[in-house]
Amino acid sequence: MINPKHEILNSKQYRMKDLLSCWDELAVRVKRAKHILLLIDYDGSLTPIVEKPELANLSPQVKECLQELAGNPHITLGIISGRAMEDLRERVGINGIIYAGNHGLEIKGPDITYINPAAKKAEPVLHSLCQNIEENIGDIKGAIIEDKGLTLSLHYRLVDEAQMRELNRIFCEATKPLATSGRIKVGKGKKVYEVKPPVDWDKGKAIALIAQNLKGEEQPLMIFLGDDVTDYDGFHFVNDSGGISIYVGEGSTESVAQYSLYSPKETYQFLDMLRETLKPRTGN
Ligand SMILES: [Mg+2]
C-alpha cells in the first residue's frame, strides 16, 4: 500500500517531500510501528561522495548515532551498498547489524547469510575482466578499478575529460564481448561504471530477502535511504510494501522516492531525530 498523502506523478514517480520539514508526519508513523527495518546505502547517503572511494569514511558522530539505533530493540539496522561486504563492514564497524554488499548479492547479519549462487559462479569472469581492464588503463591518470569479488567498479571521477574517450574505448572493448554473450551486465553510477554478473538481482530483491528473514517481526515498517540509480529498485520495493523511501541528494524534486534529504549531513539530522523519537523511555 502506498501512502496516499504523497503526490503520485505516475505509477512509479512521486513529487518528493522535504523530509526534515515534514518530520512530524513521519514521526507519527515511526512511533506507531511495532518494528522498524532501517536500511541505508553508504556512499552518498551516509558519507559524502569523495574523489577516491577509499576516502569515504564514516564520521564518529554518525557512527555513534547508528550504534545507538542498532542497540534499540525496535529497530533492525542494515547497511546496503555497492561496495564489497567486507569493505563495508570495516568502514562501518558496528557489530550485530546487517551488511549487504555488492548491491545485495552478498548479505550477512544476525539472522541471514546469503551469497547469490549464480553471482558466485560468475566471479572468475569478473576477476579476469578486472585484470584485463587494469592492464589497459595504466596510462589513464585517475582511473580506479576495484575488484569487489562479485562485481567490479571502474571509477572515472578523477579522469581528465580529454582522456575519457580512451577510457570508454578500453572499457567497451573489454566488456562488449562478455555483455553480448550474456556473461556480464554493465551499468552506471555516479562517475563509475559498474559491472555485475548476469543475474536477476538488485537492492529491491535484497531488501525483500532481508525483510523475509527478520525473525519474529511481523510486517516491519521499512525505511530505506539511497542516493543513486542502483537504489531505485530498493525504493520501488519499499514503496510497494508501504514503507518509507528517502532519496539523498540535490537535484530533481521528482523521483521514485517519497521523501528527500539534501545531503549526508541531513541524513545524520534525520537519524538523530529518529534516535530521539524512538529512545526507550525509562521510568514514568
Ligand atoms: Mg550511494
Distance 281 CA to ligand 1 centre (A): 34
Closest CA to 207 of 234, 245, 167, 171: 234
Q: 83 exposed, middle or buried (CB, 10 Å; 0-12, 13-18, 19+)?
A: buried
Distance 230 CA to ligand 1 centre (A): 8
Grouped pLDDT means (10 residues each) for the chain, 284 residues: 52 83 95 96 95 92 98 96 96 97 96 96 97 94 96 96 96 97 93 95 96 84 94 95 95 83 97 94 56
Give the CA dihedral 15, 20, 26, 31, nearest 10 degrees. Answer: 160
Strand order in the sheet with 259-261: 17-18, 259-261, 244-248, 221-226, 36-40, 75-80, 98-101, 106-109, 112-115
Distance 103 CA to ligand 1 centre (A): 10
Question: Do residues 159 and 143 make contact, with C-beta atoms less than 8 angstroms apart?
Answer: yes
Please give the grid coordinates belonging to residue 206.
535484497
Question: Do residues 184 and 194 make contact, with C-beta atoms less than 8 angstroms apart?
Answer: no
pLDDT value for 229: 87
pTM for the model: 0.90
Distance 248 CA to ligand 1 centre (A): 9
DSSP secondary structure code for residue 281 in this structure = P
Encode pLDDT of 78-124 as tens digits.
999 999 999 999 999 999 999 999 999 999 999 899 999 999 999 99
Amino acid 112 reads I
Distance 49 CA to ligand 1 centre (A): 8
Distance 280 CA to ligand 1 centre (A): 30
**Which CA distances in Å does 99 have to 26, 62, 120, 183, 225?**
25, 17, 17, 26, 14
Distance 70 CA to ligand 1 centre (A): 20
pLDDT value for 13: 75
Distance 46 CA to ligand 1 centre (A): 8
Distance 283 CA to ligand 1 centre (A): 40
**Which CA distances in Å does 29 have to 24, 92, 116, 167, 211?**
9, 27, 33, 48, 18
**Domain annotation for the chain: domains and CATH numbers:** 14-116+202-277 (3.40.50.1000), 117-196 (3.30.70.1020)
Distance 229 CA to ligand 1 centre (A): 8
Neighbours of ion ligand 1 (CB under 5 A): 41, 43-44, 227-228
Distance 81 CA to ligand 1 centre (A): 7
Rounded to the nearest 5 degrees, what angle is found at the Cα of 124, between the Cα atoms of 159 and 108?
Answer: 85
pLDDT value for 194: 94
